[in-house]
Amino acid sequence: MSGPLRIAVVCLGNICRSPMADVVLESKLADAGLSDVVHVDSAGTGDWHVGEPMDPRAAAVLTDHGYDPSRHRAQQITPSWFGDHDLILTMDDANLDDVTALARTPQERRLVQKFRAYDPVARPGDDEVPDPWYGGPEGFVAVLRMIERTADAIVERVPSLVSDVTD
Q: What is the distance between the alpha carbons of residues 29 and 151, in angstroms, rounded to a whole number?
A: 9
Length of the chain: 167
- Backbone φ and ψ for 106, nearest 5 degrees, come out as -60, -35
Catalytic residue among 11, 16, 41, 119: 11
Q: What is the distance between the alpha carbons of residues 63 and 71, in angstroms, rounded to a whole number?
A: 12
Active site residue 16: no
Catalytic residue among 17, 22, 86, 92: 17
Catalytic residue among 22, 55, 86, 131: 131
Active site residue 17: yes
Strands (DSSP E) along 69-131, which ranges? 87-90, 112-114
Active site residue 6: no
Annotated catalytic residues are 11, 17, 131
